[in-house]
Chains A and B, each alone.
Chain A
Amino acid sequence: MKQSTLLAGVLAAFLASPPLAYGQKAAEQFIPLGQSPGLSGKQTLIGRIEAVDRLSGSITLAGETGKPGQVRVTPATHIWLDRSLLQLANVSGGMADLIPGQRAEIKFADANRREAEWVKVELTAP
């Protein structure tokens, strides 16, 4: 095979392939906090929310696992309300649903910038 073909092929391979390992978000919503396979306790941060700054879009977590601290919540961040302890369906939420004292799990979209890809908060009362 010609070198140009080969180079183009390799380039194509990288263009054709999605950039990162990908966990499906749709089903993730229904997995209770701390039980996400291959992620929880390994690639996520679990702790209690200490503070919420709705203006800057950040929350501060005191960690049970992972490195605690401030986490950025962006418009692209999925926020899920984990109501499985109440035996209710998990639903999507928003920044307003994040309250200090709640137990939360965070998966980072960008660990360096501490931007959350998704946040699960555990609800213990309706």
Chain B
Amino acid sequence: MNRQWDVNRRRFWLALGLIAALLTPWQGAAAVDVGHDLVARGRHLFFHETFAGNGRTCGTCHPAENNYTLDAAYIARLPATHPLFVAEFQPALKQGFESPRLMREFGLIRENLDGFDDLDNRFVMRSVPHVLAMTTSVHSPAGPRTGWSGDGAPGDGSLCAFAMGAVIQHFTRSLQRVPGVDFRLPTDAELDALEAFTLSLGRQQELALPLPLKGAQARRGQAIFLDNHLGKCNLCHSNAGANADFGAGNLGNLSFDTGVENLPETPARLSGERIPHDDGFGTPGNGQFNTPPLVEAADTPPFFHNNAAQTMEGAVGFYNSEAFNQSPAGRLLASLDAKGVGIHLDTGQVEAVAAFLRVINALENIRQGDALLRATFGNGSFAYAQNREDLAQAAKEIGDAGRVLSQAGLHPRAADLLRESARLAQWAGYLGIFGEPLAQRALAQLDAARAELIGGTTVVAGLEQGREP
């Protein structure tokens, strides 16, 4: 009986959605004037411009629907003709362009950071870093740091120049890489727009820890994270971001040799596929890789430049390992410790730090979901296409929040509320101009979920408002 009622209810909403879609003025992507807005123009380029190459766009490896990164599960859902797989169906790219098995099974992309003169032997296999919160993470005292090892961009090494290197590396039709033949290079205006779009993504400012978290495990994790004698995480990931602070203020984004590359049994290495040693920054490399932001970590697995850890708990646990504690970064921490210890956490402490990182990721998802839902209110029918896009993205963000919590059994009541909020946001998108009441309900559920996670003042504009008094 209940099941039949559910089916009928779904049919009713589906029919209503179809009617709404038919009645709503269509405003397709082609009709959107993106010329006068740098960010909008950058967005269009990011997701649609192939630069006359092999069919890939920036969004091929940085898809918005997967938090601007790739993982094996996402890749498995793509059709065989997807441009990510050009090395599998374009004869000119079959040898020396990608390692298809490593891409499909481990989400690893081939890069020739040390030169293109020996494609069969001289390459590294890198994960795809998300491009969220780059406003907070790309700057270092020594200049901009792009890509996993900070040396991803040609020219002046800036984020603006990054796209030109990406086109040369990933968009080419052949391994000759002839500009004007195998691809066209981005213009200065296009580089500016892509940079503006990239910088617009995600968090625009750092958190201000500690937050008044309600969950005991996350709260304990936060305390360990901030304890410079125990977790020591905050030294390099100040406020769970990508910048270091050793007590004298923000030092910007620093690079470290943490020994991840020396882990002998990463999933990809266990496959038996050929993976040359990755020497990090520069040519020859110094073994260093950038510090990534942690707020966005939990819903962008796997972790590290080689996707060495599949879970948040595994990534935190890495810092207990011999590989880390014997690395230059680990030895540095030990040298600062009165007992000569690098990082040594017990299992419960590792779980607590991971729980903290999951909760702040969920809070960031909630913040974004909140902003996206609110952006759709009162827009009327003329913003239908934008509303639909915003509501779909809101549903995605809110869904992620619920997922990162439930994966570790955290805050089950909040996870339920988030699932319901995501469902409502999704339906609000389907219903077009009739969807606002559902979006309002989604927002109410979102507020309730947030209240389960964090106390203090109502957090609307940013997590920083929820700082402990």
Question: Which A residues lie at the B interface, using CB under 8 A?
Answer: 1, 5-6, 8-10, 12-13, 16-32, 35-40, 42-43, 83-84, 87-90, 92
Q: Can you report 8 A-B residue pairs in the complex whose CB atoms are below 8 A from each other?
A: A10-B251, A16-B255, A17-B255, A21-B157, A22-B150, A30-B168, A37-B191, A42-B156
Question: Are A39 and B141 CB-contacts (below 8 A) given A8-B335, A16-B329, A25-B115?
Answer: no
Q: Are B248 and A6 in contact (CB under 8 A)?
A: yes
Q: Are A21 and B246 in contact (CB under 8 A)?
A: no
Q: 13 other contacts beyond A18-B142, A19-B142, A22-B281, with CB at 8 A cut-off? A: A5-B228, A5-B247, A12-B332, A16-B256, A17-B254, A30-B179, A36-B154, A36-B156, A37-B155, A37-B164, A38-B156, A42-B156, A43-B156
Q: Are A6 and B246 in contact (CB under 8 A)?
A: yes
Question: Is residue B177 within 8 Å, beta carbon to beta carbon, of the partner chain?
Answer: yes
Q: Nearest 10 pairs between A and B by C-beta?
A: A9-B246, A21-B143, A38-B156, A37-B155, A37-B161, A27-B165, A89-B176, A6-B247, A1-B247, A27-B154
**Which residues of chain B are near A10, meaning CB under 8 Å?**
246, 248, 251
**Which residues of chain B are near A29, meaning CB under 8 Å?**
115-116
8 A Cβ contacts from B97-134 to A: 112-117
Q: Are B288 and A18 in contact (CB under 8 A)?
A: yes
Q: Are B164 and A27 in contact (CB under 8 A)?
A: yes
Give Cα A98–Cα B235 distance, bound, in whole angstroms: 50
Instruction: Report B451 CB to chain A, min CB distance, Å.
Output: 34
**Which residues of chain B are near A39, meaning CB under 8 Å?**
155-156
Q: Are B160 and A38 in contact (CB under 8 A)?
A: yes
Question: Are A31 and B247 CB-contacts (below 8 A) given A39-B156, A87-B181?
Answer: no
Q: Are A84 and B178 in contact (CB under 8 A)?
A: yes
Instruction: Report A111 CB to chain B, min CB distance, Å.
Output: 14
Instruction: Report B118 CB to chain A, min CB distance, Å.
Output: 12
Give Cα A4–Cα B142 distance, bound, in whole angstroms: 24
Give the contacting residue for A18; candidates B115, B169, B282, B335; CB below 8 A: B282
Give the contacting residue for A26; candidates B150, B178, B283; CB below 8 A: B283
**Which residues of chain B are near A28, meaning CB under 8 Å?**
154-155
Q: What 1/0 flags go to B386-422 for Cβ under 8 Å of A? A: 0000000000000000000000000000000000000
**Which residues of chain A are near B113, meaning CB under 8 Å?**
24, 26
Question: Is residue B293 within 8 Å, beta carbon to beta carbon, of the partner chain?
Answer: no
**Which residues of chain A are near B158, meaning CB under 8 Å?**
21, 37-38
Give the contacting residue for B143; candidates A13, A20, A43; CB below 8 A: A20
Question: Are A27 and B142 CB-contacts (below 8 A) given A13-B244, A21-B157?
Answer: no
Question: Is residue B301 within 8 Å, beta carbon to beta carbon, of the partner chain?
Answer: no
8 A Cβ contacts from B268-312 to A: 281-283, 286, 288
Question: Is residue B462 within 8 Å, beta carbon to beta carbon, of the partner chain?
Answer: no
Q: Is the interface of A mostly helix, strand, loop or mixed?
A: loop
Residue from A25, A27, A30, A84 with most neighbouring chain B CB atoms (10 Å): A27
**Which residues of chain B are near A1, meaning CB under 8 Å?**
228, 246-247
Q: Are A13 and B251 in contact (CB under 8 A)?
A: yes
Give Cα A35–Cα B114 distance, bound, in whole angstroms: 21
Q: Are B178 and A18 in contact (CB under 8 A)?
A: no
Residue from A8, A30, A38 with most neighbouring chain B CB atoms (10 Å): A30
Q: Are A36 and B112 in contact (CB under 8 A)?
A: no
Q: Can you name the residue of chain A whose Cβ is closest to the Cβ of B142? A: A17
**Which residues of chain A are near B468, meaning CB under 8 Å?**
none
Q: Is the interface of B mostly helix, strand, loop or mixed?
A: loop
**Which residues of chain A are near B144, meaning CB under 8 Å?**
21
Question: Is residue B336 within 8 Å, beta carbon to beta carbon, of the partner chain?
Answer: yes
Instruction: Report B11 CB to chain A, min CB distance, Å.
Output: 54
Instruction: Report A31 CB to chain B, min CB distance, Å.
Output: 6
Give Cα A13–Cα B185 distance, bound, in whole angstroms: 36
**Which residues of chain B are near A32, meaning CB under 8 Å?**
179, 185
Give Cα A22–Cα B248 distance, bound, in whole angstroms: 25
Question: Are A21 and B142 CB-contacts (below 8 A) given A26-B283, A27-B164, A28-B155?
Answer: yes
**Which residues of chain B are near A40, meaning CB under 8 Å?**
155
Q: What 1/0 flags go to B315-349 for Cβ under 8 Å of A? A: 00000000000001100100110000000000000
Question: Is residue B35 within 8 Å, beta carbon to beta carbon, of the partner chain?
Answer: no
**Which residues of chain B are near A25, meaning CB under 8 Å?**
115, 154, 283
Give Cα A22–Cα B159 distance, bound, in whole angstroms: 11
Instruction: Report A120 CB to chain B, min CB distance, Å.
Output: 12
Instruction: Report B102 CB to chain A, min CB distance, Å.
Output: 20
Q: Can you name the residue of chain B whose Cβ is closest to the Cβ of A38? A: B156
Q: Can you name the residue of chain B whose Cβ is closest to the Cβ of A86? A: B178
Question: Is residue B37 within 8 Å, beta carbon to beta carbon, of the partner chain?
Answer: no
Question: Is residue B180 within 8 Å, beta carbon to beta carbon, of the partner chain?
Answer: yes
Q: Are B246 and A18 in contact (CB under 8 A)?
A: no
Question: Are A24 and B176 CB-contacts (below 8 A) given A1-B247, A17-B142, A31-B168?
Answer: no
Give the contacting residue for A23; candidates B114, B141, B154, B256; CB below 8 A: B154
Instruction: Report B60 CB to chain A, min CB distance, Å.
Output: 18
Give Cα A33–Cα B248 distance, bound, in whole angstroms: 43
**Which residues of chain B are near A13, meaning CB under 8 Å?**
141, 244, 246, 251, 254
Question: Are A31 and B164 CB-contacts (below 8 A) given A8-B336, A25-B283, A37-B188?
Answer: yes
Q: Can you name the residue of chain A whose Cβ is closest to the Cβ of B111? A: A26
**Which residues of chain B are near A22, meaning CB under 8 Å?**
142-143, 150-151, 157, 281-282
Give Cα A112–Cα B465 distance, bound, in whole angstroms: 50
Give Cα A37–Cα B192 distance, bound, in whole angstroms: 10
8 A Cβ contacts from B239-262 to A: 244, 246-248, 251, 254-256
